[in-house]
Amino acid sequence: MTTQAKMMSTTASQQGSLSEPWTRLTHRERLPGWYAYNPRTMRPSPLSSDTCMKILSWNVNGLQSVVGSGFSALELARRENFDILCLQETHLEMLEKDVEQFKSLIEDYDNSYWSCSVSRLGYSGTAVISRVKPISVQYGLGIPAHDQEGRLITLEFDGFYLVNAYVPNSGRGLRRLNYRVNNWDPCFSSYIKKLERSKPAIVAGDLNCARQSIDIHNPPAKTQSAGFTVEERESFERNFSSKGLIDTFRKQHPKAVAYTFWGENQRITNKGWRLDYFLASESIADKVHDSYILPDVSFSDHSPIGLVLKL
């Protein structure tokens, strides 16, 4: 390669990293073999729509705000052709004026299910919008102490349960750390195991934990931060990974550095966290064709993640 060609190649690479900052490998403690995830080049060939189910999950950090900033759910549906959209942090109140306006958010997706916080209005909240009608729907864990913040919706389909979850953040000063790792996580784990007695489960959502060092930009600086404490990571392994739930993205991309959340002004430098997951029961994990991230969708501080499941 000539010097001029090398310069042109370098310039093109730099321009690409500016327009697609998630392709920059910025991890502070990267190991040999690690690489930056690029969905444009690293996703498998698509399956025909009649042979798979496509699920998207997204922490929108306020549905009113996202829609008000110009986001079009219909455009995303047309682009991605998903069957089901799971949302977290909707920040809606369970009132006619609040939820009703979003029930027809996407044309031809006629089934929508909403769970809102009743202990603190306009806080937390989850929703599922689907063009496939589920067999049944359940809200919460079935434990009143954990079901006041609208954090869980479970949909039953023919071959599996889909659990849309927004796991509690340990909060500033780690004030909810004890509740999260000693109460919520074990109860959530037991709930999933109970579902698995009849069908495999797929857990989608913001699980509020970067489970490994590869999943966060600067591990040493964040060990006392909510989402990366030793306690949270050990709880994730103890309650989910060791119980047979497969991290589908990490299974597909063992050495990919990829994030789903960025703090203020951090997306452009790709200094992020991977907090959002699709976890799958071992018995259904091999049916996952693709587990991916859509970092170019930037209306929230999280990006959507996707799962393509072979039928």
Query: Which H or E run contains 291?
Result: strand 288-293
Report the relative pairing of strands 256-257 and 305-310 from DSSP bridges: unpaired
Cβ proximity of 129 and 84 under 8 Å: yes
* Marked catalytic residue, from 37, 113, 166, 277: 166
- For the chain, the residue count is 311
> Residue 114 is encoded by which pair of tokens?
């909403």
Distance CA 21, CA 51 (A): 33
Q: What distances in angstroms separate CA 212 from CA 165, 228, 277, one per listed residue?
A: 20, 8, 13
Distance CA 208, CA 168 (A): 7
302 among known catalytic residues: yes
Cβ proximity of 205 and 276 under 8 Å: yes
> Residue 95 is encoded by which pair of tokens?
């009132």
* Marked catalytic residue, from 27, 91, 289, 302: 302
> Residue 223 is encoded by which pair of tokens?
């060990």
Query: Which H or E run contains 126?
Result: strand 126-130
Distance CA 184, CA 166 (A): 11
Please name the residue ranges forming H helices in the chain: 3-19, 39-42, 63-68, 73-80, 96-99, 177-179, 185-196, 230-239, 248-252, 282-285
Using the Cα atoms of residue 251, residue 254, residue 257 and residue 263 in order, give the sign of their dihedral: positive
CA dihedral angle for residue 222, residue 227, residue 229, residue 233, rounded to 10 degrees: -130
Burial 70-92 (b: 16+ CB within 10 A, else e): ebebeebbeeeebbbbbbbbbbb
191 among known catalytic residues: no
Enzyme catalytic residues: 166, 302
